[in-house]
Amino acid sequence: MLIVIGILALISTIAAFNIGRMHRQQRFRTGVEQIIDRLQMAQNLMLVLKTDVNIAIRKNDRGIYSIHMEVETPLPKHLEDNASRQINLEGIEEMSFDRGNGESRTDQIVLKYSALYKRIPEGVFILRQNQEMEESIPLYGYPHPVAAGDKKDERYESFPNESLNIYPAEVREEWQRILESKQEKEKEAVPAS
């Protein structure tokens, strides 16, 4: 009987450890999905309602990140309640936003989506929890589906792409101009041999 109790105690200890780890992992994944949802919502509001949207991510006194969205124009009531809500990201312990120019923010991150200039932030979010889990969310600087991944998706680097036809022609034309100007800058930056 003592052996059975010992085996049950060992199994319950292992299960308790795994349950705690799985709970931390789920909280982290939930935080990542909440950030993705907010970033995608900001992009959609900017494109559909032609309004400027700001996203602020801050760390509070307790060390918990929170995300808040501000929209420049009034929204319909059913959207206002969801958009104005501040969400705590308890599963994420470390966060940084690298703009790709050597500038990286960790404590307070503000992203501006401009409808007038059709400007979307460009950079990569790096999200961590206890050095055991890490996720990145790339932002491309132009309308693009927001998803977690370890780098920018090369399929969207070359324009035009059939999957981008869901966007209005004026947005696609602006992307084409941006892509062409980037390619010209890259050609100028390459030294002649």
pLDDT at 191: 59
- pTM more than 0.75: no
Q: At CA 154, angle to CA 51 and CA 42, rounded to 5?
A: 15
Q: Write the DSSP symbol of residue 84.
A: S
Sorted by where each begins, the domain ranges of the chain are 25-152, 157-187
Q: What are the average pLDDT values for consecutive 10-residue runs of the chain, which has 193 residues?
A: 82 77 88 92 90 90 89 86 86 84 74 84 86 86 79 46 62 80 74 53
pLDDT at 36: 92
pLDDT at 35: 92
Nearest alpha carbon to residue 44 among 115, 110, 125: 115
pLDDT at 161: 47
Cα dihedral value 155, 120, 179, 97, nearest 10:
-70
pLDDT at 132: 81
pLDDT at 160: 44
Q: Say how far apart CA 15 and CA 41 lie, in whole Å.
A: 38
96: Cβ–Cβ under 8 A, 6 or more apart, which residues?
104, 105, 106, 125, 126
The fold of 25-152 is minor pseudopilin epsh fold (3.55.40)
Q: Say how far apart CA 49 and CA 174 lie, in whole Å.
A: 18
70: Cβ–Cβ under 8 A, 6 or more apart, which residues?
53, 54, 55, 56, 84
